Amino acid sequence: MSTITRKAIIFTGKQAMEIREEQIPHPDKDNVLIEVTRSLISTGTEMTIFMRNFAPDTHWDNWIKYPFYPGYLVAGIVTEVGPEVKDIKVGDRVASRQSHASHVIKAERDVLKIPEGVTEDDAVWAGLGKIVQVGVRTAAHVLGDTVVIIGLGLLGQLVVQYVKLMGAGEIIAVDMSEKRLAMAKAHGATATIQSGVAEAKAEILKITGGRGADVVYDVTGFPPVFTIALQLARKSGTIVVLGDAGSPGEQRLGPEIITKGLRIVGSHDDIPPHYVTDGVRWSGRQIYELFLTYLARKQIVLKDLITHRFKPDDAAKAYELLQKDRMNVMAVMLDWK
């Protein structure tokens, strides 16, 4: 049986990557072939991997083996379907979780149809939309919450928009980048603080009347931030850790966990089952679909978060840019067509 030639981005070692041509089979059973039109670099995860910015014996260290296929956010057009595929047809626009490549094979259950009114530029964010939505759900928000978001990268920007949708009364965004803060302000942040989180503490306490925030999101993946985040929450407040630190052993608890009675929750997007089961209201599939619904209704807006585009053959330049000028780079799109 003939095969398909595709291009794929591969990390071959620390700060080393290449574009390879390789063969993949035609889809069989319930699989579909997607001709990728764009993929989105998950800047936090992929740069942690590219720079090997993680400690030995962590889950990162056990996960990253070479050759490594980076990325997990793609969108494109279905060009072939297997004989057992039921609801997806050739020509459908779809999004899925898959590494950066020109063509991918996915099971039908792992593919999302892109609704009318949603661009492929938007739909490619679906994986991030799910990750953040799972995290936001762990916070158990109530109407009027005061929220602090530390770190306004891709995930932090989505947190801003989700908590606005959930009726937050105050959304305080903290980051060192003026550009990121301006984006957060445009999408719902009610206050922005351009500083490190330690320096922001006094201003946050002033805004919250000295009480602290109902919910504090640490979206940095930078271990020292966690200890300071504890100081920014009110009594009985919640800390959401929505950034996978490369050195989790350096995230230290402070006395506030006891003296304030804080609730600390971590989040991973594999926690919800893929489909609804007994006792589970929101499955992974439903979370994806709700994100796409928000996009279709323009309740979540992403187009202004895309700051750079590259052709896949220039992907090395994209990772180099993220190394050198991370503060001025937001979403980096790879255009495969």
CATH number where 185 lies: 3.40.50.720
pLDDT at 50 over 90: yes
Average the pLDDT over each of 6-20, 80-94, 266-280 and give the range with the smallest value: 266-280
In a domain, residue 279? The reply is: no
pLDDT at 198 over 70: yes
pLDDT at 205 over 90: yes
Both 69 and 177 in a single domain? Answer: no
Both 168 and 109 in a single domain? Answer: no
pLDDT at 272 over 90: no
Both 148 and 95 in a single domain? Answer: no
What mean pLDDT value characterizes the chain? 94
In a domain, residue 275? The reply is: no
Cα–Cα nearest to 74, from 49, 93, 99, 42 = 99
pLDDT at 327 over 80: yes
Which pLDDT value is given to residue 1? 61
Which pLDDT value is given to residue 256? 93
Beta strands in the chain (DSSP E): 3-13, 16-25, 31-40, 74-81, 93-96, 103-107, 111-113, 146-150, 170-175, 191-194, 213-218, 233-241, 263-266, 306-310, 331-335
Which pLDDT value is given to residue 271? 77
Average the pLDDT over each of 252-256, 267-271, 299-303 and give the range with the smallest value: 267-271
Condensed to tens digits (0 to 9), the pLDDT of residues 163-177 reads 999 999 999 999 999
Q: Which two tokens stand for residue 65?
A: 């083996």
Both 102 and 140 in a single domain? Answer: no
Average the pLDDT over each of 36-50, 209-223, 243-257 and give the range with the smallest value: 243-257
Tell me how many domains the chain contains. 2
Q: Can you tell me whether residue 277 is helix, strand or coil?
A: coil
Q: Pick the last residue of a domain from 266, 292, 315.
A: 266
Both 255 and 329 in a single domain? Answer: no
| HSE, side-chain direction, 13 A CA sphere, residue 246 | 16
pLDDT at 278 over 70: no
Condensed to tens digits (0 to 9), the pLDDT of residues 115-144 reads 999 999 999 999 999 999 999 999 999 999
Both 119 and 85 in a single domain? Answer: yes
Which residue range is the domain that position 239 belongs to? 132-266
In a domain, residue 289? The reply is: no
> Over pLDDT 70: what percentage of the chain?
99
Condensed to tens digits (0 to 9), the pLDDT of residues 64-114 reads 999 999 999 999 999 999 999 999 999 999 999 999 999 999 999 999 999
pLDDT band at 243 (very low <50, low <70, confident <90, very high): confident
CA distance 5 to 107: 19
Both 14 and 107 in a single domain? Answer: yes
* Cis ω before 115 (30° cut-off from 0): no
The sign of the CA dihedral 271, 274, 277, 280 is: positive
Higher local confidence (pLDDT), 217 or 1: 217
pLDDT band at 59 (very low <50, low <70, confident <90, very high): confident
Tell me what the mean pLDDT of segment 24-50 comes to. 96
Whether the Cβ atoms of residue 330 and residue 153 lie closer than 8 Å to each other: yes
pLDDT band at 27 (very low <50, low <70, confident <90, very high): very high
CA distance 251 to 220: 12
Q: Pick the last residue of a domain from 245, 266, 287.
A: 266
Both 62 and 116 in a single domain? Answer: yes
Both 81 and 177 in a single domain? Answer: no
pLDDT at 248 over 80: no
In a domain, residue 250? The reply is: yes
Both 50 and 172 in a single domain? Answer: no
Both 168 and 198 in a single domain? Answer: yes
pLDDT band at 4 (very low <50, low <70, confident <90, very high): very high
Both 34 and 160 in a single domain? Answer: no
CATH at 95: 3.90.180.10
Cα–Cα nearest to 162, from 190, 143, 194, 136 = 136
Q: Pick the last residue of a domain from 266, 290, 321.
A: 266
